[in-house]
Chain A
Amino acid sequence: MSVLDRKLLRDLVRIKGQVAAIVLVIAVGVMLQVMMSGLVASLSETRRAYYERNRLADVFAPVTRAPETVLARLAAIPGVALLDGHVTGGALIDLPGEAVPIQARAISLPDRGEPVFNIVYRIAGRLPEPGARDEALLLAGFADAHGIVPGDRIAVTLNGARRKLLVTGLAESPELLFVAAPGEMVPDPARYGAVWMPRAALAAAYDMQGAFNEALIALGRGASQDAVIDAVDRVLAPWGGTGAYGRHDLVSDRFVTEEIDGLATMSRAVPPLFLAVAGFLLYIVVNRMVQAEREEIGLLKAFGYTGHEVGAHYFKMVLAVALMGAALGCVLGILAGRAMVPLYTTFYNFPFLVFRPDPAAFGIGVTASVLAASAGGVFVLRRVFRLTPAEAMRPPTPPDFSRTLNFSGVAARAFDQPTRMVIRGVARAPWRALALSAGIAGGMALSSGMTTIYGSFDRMMALAFTVIDRSDATVFFVQPLGMTAAHDLARMEGVIAVEPFREVPAVLRHGLRTHRGSVSGMIAAPEMARAIDADLAPIDLPERGIVLGEALAGILDIRPGDMLQVEVREGRQPVLEVPVIRVARSLIGAPAYMRMDALNRALAEPGRISGVRMRVDSDRAEAIYDDLKNRPAVAAVSVAETARASLQKLMDQGAGSARYIMGAVAFIITFGVVYNAARIGMNERARDLASLRVMGFSRGEAGFVLLGELAVITLVALPVGSLAGWGLSFAIARGFSSELYQIPTEFDPFSHGFAAAFVLGAALVSGLLVKRDLDRIDLIAVLKTRD
């Protein structure tokens, strides 16, 4: 090892506190990058592998009832590579202790062998006996959430008939990666179930002997999905086909895609912000470190070391720090990613999910930190190299103090010598002080930005359940009914008010763009469920035409004045042409609103409703839900309290939980900067401070000179950082927002106060740490060597 390399190692050890702080700052920035992009990569890759291995169908074609002979005609369609018809239907699972029965799907298993498509992934137990009528596999996530194990019996209503089914095993399926309670967008394995039963048993229950009600199709290579869907729809039309759709319109896949896309957006938007701040800090710190080395640089040059050799030496130092940070960041990123994986397996029914870091993230993390670090070094080195060795070995020429700060008159009496040293210290090198201030402001911005986001999440939650939907429960009917159904429910004891709504599942089409969703019919001036824009003002709905949420308008690439094609997927399945009247900024979801009467008019079904929202007397709530269970017209009941809990859980433990990690990272970075600022001051002034001590100044007075400067720098940083944090919170909010929810941002005094308190606290702790070193300083050693 060359002498210079030994010097490098010793120097790194000498400033180990500072090195540790910088390494940590880089590491957490890189960690975030590795963790987030790794999650994106792992989720997409796992999904792809799962779909492939368990053969998720490409096209799903639901139909009312088609004889099996129709399969031959479907098979003849060009582009259909593989085909199967199975039986499936809605079901209700009634569990003791649950206020309302839980919606579920029943799916047929082939009598022999594996299903052709959507192969179930059996986790526990055995398959039902082929001939058994009362045996079923149960969706594993659901079973876990309710503590059901193989061997238990559960009450399931199939096609109106209630039965006790023996759970023979637990399974998962690629078509049910995501499940949510009806009418909700938040994944919750507890609130939607699935049972798999032998074909014969299910066919008997749904009256499908010799028939199927869903065709599953795999496309051949290069086949056009749209063409196949069109042909399938034509074949199935006489049998009540409700419209075939591709994989990306499968509810489960759509929401998983949504989640992955959201995560991808976040991983592209947020970690770079953190890395940028970390890089900026690194730049400042390295800059100051190299500046402090000017004497040694001069000496090396005096001995005949070339500029390149000296430059390489310092570059190595910077590189070592950056690489240590990046390496630690990669390791932490993998650990954090692994820790995050279980969050996803609780919300999504992944049979396996292995965290696999994205190699590109390593590259990005390492490159970013090395670049930032070298930029900091190169900038100063360039300046230092322009000095001749003789100049470099002298301390920088003292600037002219006489013009800048003259303490006379009142000032002379007001400031004692140590105070003047503080003021002059800052005034002597205002740019260097400002750079440190800017670094601290960066940390402050991250911290206040992140805390603002915390508040925004709470606000979004509160908005969803107190402003947008203020009902206690939503009742969905089996099929659209007349207004009398609403009146019936209103008369139940304990029901305070009801509000009918119409919700029509539909494919929305504009040109080549489509979106499978629904159109919400709202009564005039609703009290409970309201259309609310991002400014919390009710969106007022026109007499005719439709109002779309911004996200949806974006998907469809549609503007007010355009005609929207609504292909209804209910009843007679008419195709409507509706003018888009307005595009509104909505907070949650991708809604399409119409006035209920306008919608019904367009459907030629006056006075029909899909369900009601209700407010109930909380004392009577349980009795009411119990009563609703037994009404055949009621398909499902969604209780606001439960829905809120699901969303809260998702925010705290699922996708939203990344914000806690980011918050921690923001605070770590902030502390790292503040500590470095204190340390730099200490390193640069060690001799001055030792001289002060020698001259008889007390520890306190010497400490005051050192920490006074830190205090000034910190105080300047607070307002600047606060302002930057406000701006940053918008960028972070955009990263966190998805189609499901927009995270609203506004200036939140508490967050800024909190972040400011943290910065001050960090300054205090760093100050004390540095002060401790100052107290221990070996006066003789410092004065003896020209360091």
Chain B
Amino acid sequence: MADAVIGTLILLALWQGLAFALQDRFLIAGPAQVLGWSIANAGLIGRALVVTGSNAALGFLAGNLAAIGLAALALVVPRLIPMISGLALVVFCLPMVATGPILRVMMGPGNGPQIVLAALAVYYTTLIPLLAGLRAAPASWLDLIHVYGRGRWAELRHIRLRAALPYLAAGLQIAAPAAFLGAMVGEFTGAERGMGVLTIRFTRALDIPAIWSLAAIAALVAIAAYALIGGIARRILHEPPPVILAPPPGGPTQRGWMQALAVLIAVLALWWAGMRLAGLSPFFAKRPSDVLAALAWAPDAAQTRGTLATALAQTARHVLPGYCAGLALGAGLAVLLGLVPRLSAVLTPLAVALRSIPIVTTAPLIVLLAGRGAAGTVLLVAVMVFFPTFVACQHGLRQAPGRILDVFDSYAASRLRKLIHVGIPAMLPALFAAARISVPAAVLAVTVVEWLATGGGIGGLMSLSASVSDYDMLWSAVVLVTLMSWLGHAVISAAERRVLATHAPEQVRP
């Protein structure tokens, strides 16, 4: 606790110092200025917070209920697990920047899109740990049930449900800030009130103190929600929270490909049926066949493909370096701090808190600082990837089995040696899990910056298409971006399986 306070004070001091040093460039509002602005505009912020907060809360509720429902279904019909997690992943890969405007035209004015986006932002990060948690019980606990001749119900009631609770808590904890982020992105699509609306307004006006204050308040709210859920969980549960290492989904085996194909067919069928049943106008609610036509045989298909390819290439140039830098920095810093435990005690609580900041809402800040060019976008993607990676890797390093470390200690091995032989292998699963989940996060980050700030790349193209009602282009972009995210995720899963098979075989379940 004391360490966390020290860390926070250091951060505030750095921030204030930087603001002071750069004060004549009008880029940074320091903590004092932020506090002043926030007090002066308390009413405005309060009203916006209530709107965004209640939308986020509704989305949080809906998304998590959906996750729990899907997990329950998976529990009853285990054969559905690959389909459920496959569909869930596809939906999670949908770029909010495009689904936002599409939801807006479908649902009209009001809070619908905000709530839906908040729900979409949370359900996946709850579902995956929950699925892992429900399967996490060691075989010996289940044997205990079987010794007394009891079956699946007793397993569920006495072991699985309870064993899954810490996983649920860990999921909900990440979900709280994510819901806030989802609600804000929903507001970017043309809501009337809320933190997202204020963010857009003050960004356009280049009101520096306001931008910094909004980002700081969004961060505070997210951290508070994260801490609150963590606190409640610690009170109710008695065991430490689990590391969330969802095993990678099925491999590139015959069955893996069949499953992927089944998921693809299900996605297309659900998409088509959803549009049909909702009776939405084909003008903005495109069907799979419309997208295929737009990309393949419409008169302007070649032009559409060219535009999309250019935009995707531009985005790739930002997202790939940012993603790799974020991973490398996160893992690198975790390893470095593993060598200096004192520093780690100060920085870790801070990083855990910063991870819960809806980074995307600070997009205007980062662009202010790094400019509208590539640097700002790359930086934002890197930051978005950095925090979860750092936190996961630290957690992984601490997972190094105590007994093995004792063996090394008995030979008076140096810290570096222990790190190389015990720590890093123990960290790998966490690094991969972070790399996997960071793919959609990086895409979200890059598209939001392009949309809000730089106007380039696929995010810029999507926002332009939405504003000129070019729904063929918008839907095609959604399909391509989703496909790219999904492929990125699949590539990392494949690498993950190969590495874990040798370094952490217990993590790869059959």
Q: Do A and B come from one complex?
A: no
